[in-house]
Structure 1
Amino acid sequence: MEHKKISIIVNEALEQANLSYDAAKGTIEFSMSNGFKKIYEADDLYLCLAKIRNEHPKITFLCKGAKLNVTPSRMCSQMSGGSLAYELTLGKSARRENIVHIFDHEDCNISKTPKEQQDYFKTWLNSLNAPKE
Structure 2
Amino acid sequence: MAGSHFDLLACGNDDPSGVEVTLSIVSENPAVIIARVGGDEEQRFPGVDLFDCLLSLREALEGRGLLLCCQGARRNVSPSGMTRQMSNGRLAYFLRPEVRASDDDLVDIFAPADCADVASIAEQKAEIRKIFRTSFG
Q: Please name the residue that 2:16 is paired with.
A: 12
Residue 28 (structure 2) aligns with: 23
Unaligned runs of 5+ residues in structure 2 are none
TM-score by structure 1 length?
0.87
User: 2:108 — aligned with what?
Assistant: 101
In the alignment, the residues of structure 1 paired with residue 117 and residue 58 of structure 2 have an alpha-carbon distance, to the nearest angstrom, of 15
Task: Select between 72-81 and 101-110 the one with higher mean Cα deviation.
Answer: 101-110
TM-score normalised per structure 2: 0.85
2:118 to 106, 110, 127: 110
C-alpha distance in 1, partners of 2:97/2:28? 29
Q: List per-residue Cα deviations over 1:60-100 (Å, max 9, x = no partner).
A: 21110110000001111111111110000011111110000
- For this pair of structures, how many residues does the alignment match? 129
Single out whichever of 68-77 and 42-51 deviates more from structure 2.
Answer: 42-51
How far off is 1:35 after superposition? Answer: 2.4
SS of 1:8's equivalent in the other structure is strand
Range 95-104 or range 7-16, more displaced = 7-16
Q: Which runs of 5+ in 1 are unaligned?
A: none
Map of 1:81-100 to 2, 5 A cutoff? 81-100=88-107
Indicate the SS of the match to 2:48: coil
Q: Tell me if structure 2 keeps the 8 A contact 1:7–1:61.
A: yes
DSSP-derived class of the 2:18 partner: strand
Task: Tell me, yes or no, if structure 1 residue 73 matches structure 2 residue 80.
Answer: yes
| Separation in 1, partners of 2:87, 2:96 | 22
1:127 aligned to 108, 113, 134, which one? 134
Percent of matched pairs sharing the same residue: 25
